[in-house]
């Protein structure tokens, strides 16, 4: 409960800061436009076009994000990923990571809980990377602004490389843990 | 309204109907939070949109393509990758920014690299990540993600 109040407080502060920055940006823009009056039209129409493109999808994206975060609770994600095994765990990690939403730092405590539960490291890495990079609402904004080809190419490449990275990091950590244990035994004189 | 925007809205609407059928109170809660997050992100969206207008209207295309265009080469890609790793802006907003860069003479590789490092790597949140996951895992994840982002960007530059 205390966390919730604190979260609300920081959110209010952040919004206040953003509004101030917006004001400063507006003042600078007006100043720049009065220095370069011949550029006024280009700047205004460009901003307007991007604004329209954004406002057409932003409410839908927000609704999707919060529907996912309410209907796919964190505990459920942790429960499912905690007991997954093998290469399936990696893909489940990607799938689960692409559903819920919020900034990446929200996912760190979840990943930490998964680590304690003994989930596979490849799965945790896949989960974190998917959370960061291939969330469904985020992909939709990419589709809107950068087109289907760009979005699909980046999505496929990211999934493939994230799977490889997950397995690689798991091997590296297992290898270094093993070395540490062996080293420790040698030190103990065994 | 383009087809993508229609598709996104229809998809969101479909999910909303499904959610209402499943659980009305949860849906109501989600919608209230969504309304709040919409207004929370709005100032940032407006800032970026104004900056995009200024970028496309005031900065000559030749200058943009010098930094992030074909002739920028590997050094340009590397700088953009670092920039993405250090900046801490919401990923939703990175896409219109990327689109505006592409429109004004940037090539695919640096733009793809920028989006990928921006979303996957967080230098600002690294201390938190180390605290939660340990030094080894956090550094490996961020380091390898950096390499991956460059690989993704170069591959996309070749195929698109």
- pLDDT grade for B68, boundaries at 50, 70 and 90: confident
Share above pLDDT 70 across residues of chain A, in percent, rounded to a whole number: 93
Asked if B8 and A22 come within 8 Å (Cβ–Cβ), the reply is no
Helix (H) or strand (E) holding B159: helix B135-159
Q: pLDDT tens digit string along A94-146?
A: 999 998 777 788 889 999 999 988 899 999 999 999 999 888 888 999 999 99
Q: For residues A139 and A151, is the Cβ–Cβ distance under 8 A?
A: yes
Question: What one-character-per-residue DSSP string does B84-145 give?
Answer: HHH----HHHHHHHHHHHHHTT--HHHHHHHHHHHHH--STTHHHHHHHH-HHHHHHHHHHH
Domain locations in chain A? 60-180
ipTM for the complex? 0.90
Asked if A128 and B31 come within 8 Å (Cβ–Cβ), the reply is no
- pLDDT grade for A190, boundaries at 50, 70 and 90: very low
- pTM to 2 decimal places: 0.87
Residues of A whose CB is below 8 A from B133: 108, 111-112, 115, 124
Three-state secondary structure of chain A = CHHHHHHHHHHHHHHHHHHHHHHHHHHHHHHHHHHCHHHHHHHHHHHHHHHHHHHHHHHHHHHHHHHHHHHCCHHHHHHHHHCCCHHHHHHHHHHHHHCCCCCHHHHHHHHHHHHHHCCCHHHHHHHHHHHHHCCHHHHHHHHHHHHHHHHHHHHHHHHHHHHHHHHHHHHHHHHHHHHHHHHHHHHCCC
The number of domains in chain B is 1
Residues of B whose CB is below 8 A from A161: 148, 151-152
Q: pLDDT tens digit string along B13-64?
A: 999 999 999 999 999 999 999 999 899 889 999 999 999 999 989 988 888 8
Asked if A70 and B26 come within 8 Å (Cβ–Cβ), the reply is yes
Asked if A50 and B47 come within 8 Å (Cβ–Cβ), the reply is no
**Measured between CA atoms, how close is A187 to chain B, in angstroms?**
22
Quote the domain boundaries for residue B145.
3-159
**Measured between CA atoms, how close is A64 to chain B, in angstroms?**
6
Asked if B30 and A63 come within 8 Å (Cβ–Cβ), the reply is yes
Q: pLDDT tens digit string along B104-147?
A: 888 999 999 999 999 999 898 999 999 999 999 999 999 999 99
């Amino acid at each position: 409960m205390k966390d919730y109040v604190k979260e609300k407080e920081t959110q209010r502060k952040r919004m206040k800061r953003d509004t101030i920055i917006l004001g400063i940006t507006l003042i600078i823009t007006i100043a720049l436009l009065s220095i370069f009056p011949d550029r006024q039209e280009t700047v205004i129409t460009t901003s307007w076009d991007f604004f329209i493109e954004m406002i057409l999808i932003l409410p839908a994206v927000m609704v999707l994000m919060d529907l996912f975060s309410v209907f796919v609770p964190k505990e459920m994600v942790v429960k499912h990923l905690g007991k997954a095994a093998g290469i399936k765990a990696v893909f489940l990690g990607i799938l689960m990571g692409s559903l819920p939403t919020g900034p990446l730092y929200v996912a760190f405590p979840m990943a930490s809980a998964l680590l304690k539960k003994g989930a596979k490291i490849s799965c945790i890495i896949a989960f974190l990377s998917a959370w960061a990079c291939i969330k469904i609402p985020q992909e939709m904004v990419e589709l809107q602004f950068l087109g289907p080809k760009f979005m699909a190419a980046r999505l496929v490449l990211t999934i493939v490389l994230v799977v490889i990275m997950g397995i690689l990091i798991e091997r590296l950590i297992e290898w270094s843990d093993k070395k540490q244990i062996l080293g420790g035994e040698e030190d103990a004189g065994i | 309204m383009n087809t993508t925007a229609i598709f996104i809205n229809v998809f969101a609407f479909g999910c909303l109907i499904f959610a209402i059928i499943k659980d009305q109170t949860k849906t109501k809660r989600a919608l209230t939070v969504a309304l709040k997050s919409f207004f929370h992100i709005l100032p940032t969206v407006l800032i970026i949109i104004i900056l995009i207008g200024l970028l496309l209207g005031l900065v000559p295309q030749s200058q943009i393509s010098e930094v992030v265009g074909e002739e920028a080469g590997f050094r340009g890609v590397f700088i953009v990758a670092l920039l993405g790793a250090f900046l801490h802006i919401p990923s939703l907003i990175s896409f219109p920014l990327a689109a505006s860069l592409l429109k004004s003479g940037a090539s695919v590789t640096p733009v793809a690299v920028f989006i990928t490092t921006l979303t996957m790597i967080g230098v600002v949140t690294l201390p938190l990540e180390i605290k939660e996951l340990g030094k080894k895992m956090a550094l490996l994840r961020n380091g390898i993600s950096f390499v991956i982002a460059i690989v993704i960007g170069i591959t996309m530059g070749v195929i698109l």
